[in-house]
């Protein structure tokens, strides 16, 4: 693998690990808001949309973190081997749709009279966008530029 390919792969792995870490911070922040309610964190209601009861949501979030970590570890293992040069186009499409649906959710909540972006579910939406970014980057080609991948992703 040439230097450009290695640099691209390092950038890709950095973004995937960053998304995993950000989602971990979300899970920990939400749990801390529930258990300790420190003044410097948003309230539990601002972290949580209520669509899934929290006793079910927390194990799901932990499972997502485990899957994200396993996927990135796998990507690190195949880093020097051959990988799908076309990427996973369907994964990129899902990521773009996921991002768009969360944007629509936020806009709808604002139009329904939410006082602020936070009140409209801005924190959960932001972390859904982190997950969408994870999927988008995971579906990127193993070589090439981010700009080329974004041009190929459906709008």
Q: Where are the domains of the chain?
A: 3-152
pTM: 0.75
The reported pLDDT for the residue numbered 5 is: 52
Q: What is the C-alpha separation between 22 and 62, in angstroms, rounded?
A: 13
Say how far apart CA 122 and CA 128 lie, in whole Å.
10
Question: Can you tell me the distance from the alpha carbon of 110 to that of 116, in angstroms, rounded to the nearest whole number?
Answer: 7
What's the residue count for the chain?
A: 155
What is the DSSP annotation of the chain?
A: --HHHHHHHHHHHHHHHHHHHHHHHHHHHHHHHHHT--TTSPPHHHH--SSS-HHHHHHHHHHHHHHHHHHHHHHHHTSSS---TT--HHHHHHHHHHHHHHHHHHHHHHHTT-SSTTTTTHHHHHHHHHHHHHHHHHTS-SSS-HHHHHHHS--
Give CA–CA dist 75/105, Å, rounded: 32
Instruction: For 30-58, write each residue's pLDDT tens digit.
Output: 999 999 999 999 999 898 888 899 999 99
For residue 33, the number of C-alpha atoms closer than 13 Å in the C-beta half-sphere is 18
* Confidence (pLDDT) at 150: 46
Mean pLDDT of the chain: 84
Q: What angle separates helix 122-138 from helix 89-111, to the nearest 10 degrees?
A: 170
| pLDDT tens digit at each of 155 positions of the chain | 444 455 667 888 999 999 999 999 999 999 999 999 999 999 998 988 888 999 999 999 999 999 999 999 988 877 655 455 456 778 888 999 999 999 999 999 999 999 999 999 999 999 999 999 999 998 886 544 444 444 555 54
Return the sign of the alpha-carbon dihedral for residues 98, 103, 106, 109. Answer: negative
């Amino acid at each position: 693998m040439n230097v450009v390919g290695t640099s691209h792969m390092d950038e890709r792995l950095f973004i995937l690990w960053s998304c995993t870490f950000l989602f971990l911070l979300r899970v920990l922040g939400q749990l801390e808001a529930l258990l300790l309610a420190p003044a410097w964190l948003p309230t539990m209601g601002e972290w949580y949309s209520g669509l899934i009861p929290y006793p079910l949501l927390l194990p799901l979030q932990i499972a997502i973190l485990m899957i994200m970590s396993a996927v990135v570890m796998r990507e690190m293992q195949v880093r020097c081997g051959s990988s799908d040069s076309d990427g996973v186009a369907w994964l990129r499409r899902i990521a773009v749709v996921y991002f768009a649906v969360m944007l629509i959710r936020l806009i709808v909540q604002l139009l329904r009279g939410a006082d602020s972006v936070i009140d409209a579910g801005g924190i959960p939406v932001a972390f859904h966008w982190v997950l969408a970014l994870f999927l988008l980057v995971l579906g990127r080609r193993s070589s090439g530029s981010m700009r080329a991948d974004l041009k190929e992703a459906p709008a």
